Structure 1
């Protein structure tokens, strides 16, 4: 399978800092050699510095989305499967736009469903899924080339265990499906009865149980093991038309033994093998 790894090395508007160090740390681990050895023709695309407002979370966050949308669109036009390695979850909005995805599966310990009106912290990345579903930041999200909000009825939130009170209330009204990671595979036929919608997978690595492996400062107790997460990813690859993948939120500072890149490598290699098996 032809593959484009797109790196967006940002954390809340800051370039190559905090979570923004994660993409390059993953690449430096040897993942490219492993993917090539598995038969995937890998191309690397780094979006580099974007926008004119470095350090400004909102302006830079959406500039990253625009750059990622353009890079993903090129990859898709060349029939290359896009995998975006990024610091922030908001980047998924750019990937969805570039792929023209119509559904999304959001693997995350958080809901990312706050809005400027409900966010207790004003943290833009805590509004990432809300933005992708068209619940907030609509004018600036419309500046992302090709962006169309995903209908909430076509969204699955996997293993979100750390939700704010307003997110819990919102989910009582939204038709977003909530699923435990270990149950996802057996629910896919019900959640996606046609299986033919272009579906984006977003993977925030802090979904993983920090007792097994810690990826950043935000991780809270609970969550799946790498093996359980890997099975869920492979189940989706075998069942759905997956149009692309974002992998976010790895801060190497919290991984002194450099375990996370190896986990990402195994997850991605197994996922691509499962996807390739049905093509």
Structure 2
């Protein structure tokens, strides 16, 4: 029997809107364990990573909000994720804001030579201290995982470059800062904006993504931010951007990834029940996890 290990990360320090720390609880409440057990997986819920309390003196030498606390939490997460991968189980991380991807990727990449990353998100999360308009670390995890940014973020788990730019595919981008656009062009990162999704269709986008990553990677991590979906379908997120990927398109993407069998780890982030409607966004997240892990109508 295949095994999935669930790790909750109740992190809300990577941004300013309170409530996203309750994301893991909301996803569990929406029935993630029961849903995946029905698909004949052995489920292990490891519980939540401890997130430290914020000190008032935190970050005196940096423009990055809550830098020390975010870095410490990601160190703990990286260690736990690494243990899960080493045990042969599939790590499924529940957020929490997207800054947790720094720790997730740090823990996973220890075990792969060429990990691929699918970044399913309205944002590229490629900011640094110099380019960020907010100082919010949840807008920086992809850059940090490439070894670009503040040393306290790039050096998580004792090494710097976790992922290579040519092993990344961003899907659903529709809100990019100027510094991010420059980095995408400079590094040649593959991006499917909403323009490409509308023009090509999700089927073609995922087919191309699978083909692109299959030939160059030895594993693929899916980092799915619920704000990648349109706010109509996923209202409970901190930074909703209209004109996003539809609920059905997202299911199709997950179903195609399941059929391809390339996903070796995943995280679902930015579920904020305070901003949600009757736990709708967490329920959507669980439904998408069902499709990712092979759930079929017939």
Fold conserved between structures, TM > 0.5: yes
Question: 1:187/1:45 Cα in 2 relative to 1: closer, same or farther (>3 Å)?
Answer: same
Distance 2:39 2:278 in 1: 25
1:11 aligns with 2:12: yes
Counterpart among 52, 60, 69 of residue 60 in structure 1: 69
Tell me, yes or no, if the aligned pair for 1:199 and 1:244 is still in contact at 8 Å. Answer: yes
Cα RMSD (Å):
2.4
Distance 2:179 2:40 in 1: 46
Shift of 1:71: 1.4
Distance 2:100 2:165 in 1: 18
Counterpart among 242, 250, 258 of residue 271 in structure 2: 250
1:152 aligns with 2:165: yes
- Structure 2 residue ranges without an equivalent (≥5): 59-65
- Give 1:132-171 correspondences, 5 Å limit: 132-144=145-157, 148-171=161-184
What's 1:229 paired with? Answer: 250
Shift of 1:165: 1.9
Question: 1:196/1:118 Cα in 2 relative to 1: closer, same or farther (>3 Å)?
Answer: closer
Tell me, yes or no, if the aligned pair for 2:120 and 2:172 is still in contact at 8 Å. Answer: yes
* 1:58-107 CA-partner distances (Å, limit 9, x unpaired): 11111221111111122122221110001121211211222225221101
- Structure 1 residue ranges without an equivalent (≥5): 275-279
Aligned residues: 274
What's 2:119 paired with? Answer: 106
Tell me, yes or no, if the aligned pair for 2:3 and 2:89 is still in contact at 8 Å. Answer: yes
Distance 2:166 2:124 in 1: 15
Distance 1:82 1:125 in 2: 20
Distance 2:11 2:255 in 1: 28
Shift of 1:146: 6.1
Q: TM (normalized to structure 1)?
A: 0.89
* 1:13-71 CA-partner distances (Å, limit 9, x unpaired): 69x95111111111012221222222111111224424575575211111221111111
Shift of 1:164: 1.2
